């Protein structure tokens, strides 16, 4: 979950590393550091290691006085897994002699035994991290091989776990050795040198043509270019990926924070995700499907596996898949799925949902599912990501880069993509006609304008509701049907960005325990859109009202009756219940952000969280 960047060439490495780390800071921000090559007075190459706790801005200040002439270096921004956030645990980590430095994204599962062995051979450790064993393993291998790239390959054979690695050695100036297994690594060559990063966003100014390393692949970066090898050192020719999105997608564009910017981009996400998906005869057209209609027709069970926000998108998909395709669908936390021996047959479809496409738990689960014979379908925002590559088919959410840690526009893209999948399964099963598909598709497309209406007209209502919630200690989110599914996401958003405790329940469950929490002024946020269960939700809210709850209702435009029991009402346009989660999620996102801002929280980088969870 950490950010890696490296550069070697003719330009100023310090500047490039800092710029790259700032763009990668969404991946982790408890500490940051760099290793820069420097020519000593005697003419030899030395490594300057600078590390600092906190955000990259602090590291930048630390580097301001340093010699700008270095043209090769590696950098890292950290989200702690092994070892508390501290200067000693910050990357890069170095060998005993200080001649080798390593940055790492991932987790070394056998680090404890490796550390014991290395200490027994005289190595001295300066941190609590798993990463430091890599520096010492490379040091030992380099003493034998005398070649950095060969030493990295040897070290990788000794570790168990996930890694994206970049290493430099003072004895090989200008060379960066790179390796990857289960953690993302992207490399590319620009006009002034060669680059490596854990995310393409750090390279976009330098090149649009990049290589996403596969597991077990290695790269040697030098100023003149990059060479690629497999685990045996044999040369390979990797695939080139062209990046067609602009760096503006990673800038705030005048908004006060990325979270608000990305909430406001959601109408475009809906439109972009749907472009080209409906054929002229009313059939769905998904080029990346990878499964024939005949194969889809044989599916008799669906598992949606995901984590966090993506899990909540799966809850929405369950309702749609069972309603439209009449196939049993279960939603599983990816971290649990692989350990409970689920019933999987060749007619099982496993749908893996991951914004980044690199979530470790989700990847592990789909690999197990494939071994057991299931078909695997991916829903992700990142072209060429591990989830995309390891699935039989994929739908890309077309959300472009999402910077804020709390997912908003990617969530909407996931719901739209999963809705398409549910329609596709319904079509393959013969449960939906082409006429019904065409009607549903156009109504789904209409949600883009409906989201825009919410953004244009309901911001003040959200602001007033947030003022009423900001000083609370806890909150409850309730709804029924689709409203219950979206309530779970609303509660998670509030927790993520405002640190205000929140829980979600199906509204009918309130009287089975949660209603005991309610006292005067207690916030209850209810999804009360017009649906078959509307009257039931209203009845549940009256029980809360009778106990003095402060009620915020997400209601359908024109519903005046709800004002009789709700203290605050935020409206969404009338919409088919199947699509209500798309529109109802927007005011809940806005509410979470408003409360967080009022409480003085960093909405883009909440404490203890990182954007991509690449460790289990």
- Sorted by sequence, the CB contacts under 8 Å of residue 537 that are 6+ apart come out as 478, 479, 480, 483, 507, 526, 527, 528
- Sorted by sequence, the CB contacts under 8 Å of residue 41 that are 6+ apart come out as none
Backbone Cα Rg of the chain: 26
* Location of structure tokens 């040091």: 139
* Location of structure tokens 């695939």: 239
β-pairing verdict for 186-190 and 209-212: antiparallel
Q: Is 318 a known active-site residue?
A: no
Burial of 554 (0-12, 13-18, 19+ CB in 10 A): buried
- Sorted by sequence, the CB contacts under 8 Å of residue 419 that are 6+ apart come out as 317, 320, 444, 578, 579
Catalytic position from the list 14, 318, 398, 611: 611
Q: Are 305 and 366 in contact (CB under 8 A)?
A: yes
Report the first-to-last Cα separation within the chain, whole angstroms: 11
Q: Are 362 and 305 in contact (CB under 8 A)?
A: yes
Burial of 232 (0-12, 13-18, 19+ CB in 10 A): exposed
In 3D, which of 99, 90, 82 has the Cα closest to residue 56? 90
Q: Are 529 and 580 in contact (CB under 8 A)?
A: yes
Cis peptide before 239 (omega within 30 of 0): no
SS3 helix, strand, coil % of the chain, rounded to 5? 40, 25, 35
Distance set, CA 187 to CA 216, 237, 267 (Å): 15, 13, 32
Burial of 210 (0-12, 13-18, 19+ CB in 10 A): buried
Between CA 312 and CA 555 the distance in angstroms is 20
Q: How many CB atoms lie within 10 A of CB 80?
A: 19
Q: Is 493 a known active-site residue?
A: no
Catalytic position from the list 2, 45, 156, 169: 2
- Sorted by sequence, the CB contacts under 8 Å of residue 361 that are 6+ apart come out as 307, 333, 334, 335, 338, 613, 616
Backbone angles phi, psi at 385, to 5 degrees: -70, 165
In 3D, which of 402, 439, 453 has the Cα closest to residue 582? 453
Between CA 502 and CA 333 the distance in angstroms is 20
* Location of structure tokens 């998108």: 313
* Location of structure tokens 């590559």: 389
Residues with active-site annotation: 2, 611
């Amino acid at each position: 979950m950490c950010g890696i960047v490296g550069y070697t060439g003719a330009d100023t490495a310090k500047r490039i590393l800092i710029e790259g780390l700032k763009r990668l800071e969404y991946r982790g921000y408890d500490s940051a550091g760099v290793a820069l090559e420097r020519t000593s007075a005697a003419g030899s190459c030395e490594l300057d290691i600078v590390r600092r706790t906190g955000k990259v801005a602090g590291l930048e200040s630390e580097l301001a006085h340093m010699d700008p002439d270095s043209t090769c270096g590696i950098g890292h921004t950290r989200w702690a897994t092994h070892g508390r956030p501290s200067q000693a645990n910050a990357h890069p980590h170095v060998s005993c002699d200080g001649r080798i430095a390593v940055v790492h994204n991932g987790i070394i599962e056998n680090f404890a035994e490796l550390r014991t062995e290395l200490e027994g051979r005289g190595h001295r450790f300066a941190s609590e991290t798993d990463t430091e064993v890599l520096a010492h393993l490379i040091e030992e291998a380099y003493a034998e091989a005398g070649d950095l790239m060969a030493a990295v390959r040897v070290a990788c054979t000794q570790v168990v776990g996930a890694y994206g690695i970049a290493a430099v050695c003072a004895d090989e100036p200008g060379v960066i050795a790179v390796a990857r297994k289960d953690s993302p690594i992207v490399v590319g060559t620009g006009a002034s040198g060669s680059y490596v990063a854990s995310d393409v966003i750090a390279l976009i100014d330098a090149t649009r043509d990049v290589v996403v390393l596969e597991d077990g692949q290695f790269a040697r970066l030098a100023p003149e270019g990059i060479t690629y090898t497999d685990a045996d050192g044999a040369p390979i020719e990797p695939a080139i990926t062209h990046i067609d999105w602009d760096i503006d997608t990673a800038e705030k564009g005048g908004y006060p924070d990325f979270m608000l910017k990305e909430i406001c981009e959601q109408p475009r996400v809906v439109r972009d995700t749907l472009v080209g998906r409906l054929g002229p005869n009313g059939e769905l057209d998904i080029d990346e499907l990878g499964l024939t209609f005949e194969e889809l027709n044989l599916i008799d069970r669906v598992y949606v596996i995901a984590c966090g926000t993506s899990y909540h998108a799966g809850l929405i998909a369950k309702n749609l898949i069972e309603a439209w395709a009449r196939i049993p669908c279960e939603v599983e936390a990816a971290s649990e799925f692989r350990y409970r021996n689920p019933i999987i047959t060749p007619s099982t479809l496993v749908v893996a949902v991951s914004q980044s496409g690199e979530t470790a738990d989700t990847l592990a689960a789909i690999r197990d599912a494939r071994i057991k014979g299931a078909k695997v379908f991916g829903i992700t925002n990142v072209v060429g990501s591990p989830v995309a590559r390891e699935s039989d088919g994929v739908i890309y959410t077309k959300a472009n880069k999402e910077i804020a840690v709390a997912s908003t526009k990617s969530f909407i893209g996931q719901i739209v993509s999963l809705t398409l999948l549910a329609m596709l399964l319904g079509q393959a099963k013969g449960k939906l006609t082409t006429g019904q598909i065409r009607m549903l598709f156009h109504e789904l497309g209409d949600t883009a304008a409906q989201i825009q209406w919410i953004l244009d007209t309901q911001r003040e209502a959200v602001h007033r509701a947030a003022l009423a919630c900001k000083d609370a200690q806890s909150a409850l989110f309730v709804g029924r049907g689709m409203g219950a599914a979206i309530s779970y996401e609303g509660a998670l958003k509030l927790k993520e960005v405002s640190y205000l405790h929140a829980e979600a329940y199906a509204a009918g469950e309130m009287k089975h325990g949660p209603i005991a929490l309610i006292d005067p002024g207690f916030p209850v946020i209810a999804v009360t859109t017009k649906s078959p269960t509307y009257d039931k939700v209203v009845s549940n809210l009256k029980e809360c009202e009778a106990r003095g709850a402060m009620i915020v209702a997400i209601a359908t435009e024109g519903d005046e009756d709800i004002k009789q029991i709700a203290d605050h009402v935020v409206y969404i346009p009338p919409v088919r219940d199947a699509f209500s989660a798309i529109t109802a999620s927007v005011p809940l996102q806005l509410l979470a952000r408003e409360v967080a801002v009022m409480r003085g929280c960093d909405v883009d980088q909440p404490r203890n969280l990182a954007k991509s969870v690449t460790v289990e």
